[in-house]
Amino acid sequence: MTKKIIISLSVIAAIAFGFLYGKGLLSVHQGLEPPASLAALKLEKTPQNAPSVGFTDATGRRYALETFRGRYVLLNLWATWCAPCVAELPALVRLQARAPGLRVMAINTDRAGVDAAAFLKSHGARALIPYRDVDVTMLRSFKAYGLPLTVLIDPQGKIIARAEGPADWDSPEAVKYFKRVTGS
- Domain count for the chain, please give it: 2
Q: How far apart are CA 9 and CA 128, in angstroms?
A: 46
Q: What integer pLDDT is reported at residue 27 of this predicted model?
A: 45
Domain that holds residue 114: 33-182
In the three-class reduction of DSSP (H, G, I as helix; E, B as strand; rest coil), residue 128 is classed as coil
Peptide bond into 51 cis (omega under 30): no
The predicted-structure confidence for 78-134, as pLDDT tens digits, reads as follows: 999 999 999 999 999 999 999 999 999 999 999 877 888 999 999 999 999 999 998
Q: Band the pLDDT of 155: cuts 50, 70, 90.
A: very high
CB 149, CB 164: distance < 8 Å? yes
Check whether residue 108 and residue 155 sit in a common domain.
yes
CB 173, CB 38: distance < 8 Å? yes
Check whether residue 107 and residue 23 sit in a common domain.
no
Strands 131-132 and 102-108: parallel
Q: How far apart are CA 94 and CA 98, in angstroms?
A: 6
The domain that contains 154 carries what CATH number? 3.40.30.10
Strands 62-64 and 102-108: unpaired
In the three-class reduction of DSSP (H, G, I as helix; E, B as strand; rest coil), residue 108 is classed as strand
Maximum CA pair distance of the chain?
70
The predicted-structure confidence for 62-80, as pLDDT tens digits, reads as follows: 999 999 999 999 999 999 9
Check whether residue 63 and residue 147 sit in a common domain.
yes
